[in-house]
Amino acid sequence: MSGIQTDSNACNDGDALSGTTARQGCSKNSDYVDHDIAQLTNLRSGPHELLSRGVPGGKKLPVSTLKMLVGREGNYTGRGRFSLADCCHVLSRYLPVNGPWWVDRMQSRAYVSQFSADGSLFVAGFQQNHIRIYNVDKGWKIQKDILAKSLRWTITDTSLSPDQRFLVYSSLSSIVHIVNVGSAATESVANITEIHDGLDFSHDDYDDDDEDEDELGIFSVKFSTDGRELVAASSDKSIYVYDLEAKRPSLRIPAHKSDVNTVCFADETGHLIFSGSDDHLCKVWDRRCFVTKGKAAGVLMGHLEGITFIDSHGDGRYFISNGKDQTTKLWDIRKMSSNATCTPRLRFSDWDYRWMDYPTRARALKHLHDQSLATYKGHSVLRTLIRCYFSPAYSTGQKYIYTGSSDGSLYIYDLVTRALVARRHHHKAPVRDCSWHPFYPMIITSSWDGVIARWEFPGSNEEPSRWEPIREDHAFED
């Protein structure tokens, strides 16, 4: 098949998936990510060399917390304190995998959920017009209970402004709504108790006769770091940038040949944008140097099926993507091409990820021109647009990659070794989104069973939640 080969060197993930505790990954050196990001990750999450010296010729083992504390008290490093990397090394050893304890349970599928940048708030969006904002510091008290307006099918995404005053939510519609979440009222019913202003992303000013405006839907929306712009991925194969001060789209990029499922700013500057589409491609866009309309700065090939989500490393260089080929991939934009030299043709014309399992014979296939740095396998990207993320910089040095899965589990991989270090299963339906607290060892999983579940280390004195979530009988869809 054009652009595809059998991956004969792929690790056998069967053993790693057999349990829910941390596992040792493949032991071959070839399984390690041999790239700058590996050294960067080790620098950010590794202990000082004076604390990590081993016995000559002996096996190098992780430095224990006790040894780290003894070294700090003995001032082995000459600093008299832990560096940020030392702290990350200690904290990253204690994965938030105990529990779970239920934060909430709704009679509706949970689609999106994220912590605020400072970890004080948590936002969860559900299919039946409902968004809840929880105050994490006040025992998960509901701070804002939002009943959304004019949804088509479901809430597809939410984004909290950097100052945490405003929330935007999107649907399969050209209108994205914005809510003032800093107001005193707890209940926010669209245009009844509070105004939910509509931000129109339709493109009347563009000459594009091939698209039906009624078909425009927003799959992903994100605030810029300065809070002045939104970037959105749409079903009309385009990326939109919306100017919140001018109250209109400032840029539309005909970006892909199919639905754009995910988009994000690459770093704090807002100049670079990453996008992923059902055309199997990840693209990089530089707003400073558009030569021709729709011309990407670069293209990255490697996925065999559509891209469901992209998360930036935050440095404008690296990002990860989840794909319907049941993989997460790590990318460096310095390896991108000027255009797609090879796009795999559809191999299984009757396969639909929304209600069918991935063909067994497809799991060994690999793109001949794969430009990714590493591939992570084990989780399942089916039924819906499953999301993946880098672990927090502050507490882990971004040492891990974690993702939801359609089998109702949370998966955590080591970025450098590619090993599956933890799998936690609790939900009875796909875990579409998950979020690691920016400072504490805590992960929240949100599932189509309506449950928002909290995983922690070391956990609480309460017994983990055990009641059976409601399971819907009909087929899952996006």
CB 318 within 8 A of CB 372: no
Residue 2's pLDDT is 44
Q: How many other CB atoms sit within 10 Å of the CB of residue 442?
A: 21
Interval 258-312: pLDDT, tens: 999 999 999 999 999 999 999 999 999 999 886 555 589 999 999 999 999 999 9
Residue 74's pLDDT is 72
Place of tokens 């929306």: 221
pLDDT tier, 150 (very low <50, low <70, confident <90, very high otherwise)? confident
pTM equals 0.86
Percent of the chain with pLDDT over 70: 81
Residue 76's pLDDT is 66
Residue 121's pLDDT is 98
CB 196 within 8 A of CB 150: no
CB 94 within 8 A of CB 88: no
CATH of domain 4-9+96-456: 2.130.10.10
> Rounded distance, CA 468 to CA 127, Å?
20
- Give the E-state strand segments of 127-228 in sequence order: 130-135, 141-147, 157-160, 166-170, 175-180, 187-189, 197-200, 218-223
Between 26 and 64, where is the model more confident?
64
Residue 17 pLDDT greater than 70, yes or no: no
Tell me the β-bridge partners of 197.
178
Instruction: Report the range of poorest mean pLDDT among 49-58, 379-388, 389-398.
Output: 49-58
Question: Which of helix, strand or coil describes residue 196?
Answer: coil
Residue 20's pLDDT is 37
Question: Which of helix, strand or coil describes residue 434?
Answer: strand
- Long-range Cβ contact pairs of 341-346 (< 8 A, separation 24 or more): 341/301, 341/369, 342/2, 342/3, 342/301, 342/367, 342/368, 342/369, 343/3, 343/279, 343/280, 343/281, 343/301, 344/1, 344/2, 344/3, 344/4, 344/280, 344/304, 345/1, 345/2, 345/3
Interval 79-123: pLDDT, tens: 777 788 878 877 788 899 999 999 999 999 999 999 999 999 999
Residue closest to 313 by CA, chosen among 331, 326, 298: 331
Residue 86's pLDDT is 79
> Rounded distance, CA 284 to CA 262, Å?
12
* Average pLDDT of every residue of the chain: 85
Residue 123's pLDDT is 98
pLDDT tier, 55 (very low <50, low <70, confident <90, very high otherwise)? very low
Domain ranges of the chain: 4-9+96-456, 32-93
Task: State the average pLDDT over residues 242-255.
Answer: 95
Is the N-terminal amide bond of 344 cis, ω within 30° of 0? no
Residue 467's pLDDT is 53
Report strand pairing: 141-147 vs 187-189.
parallel
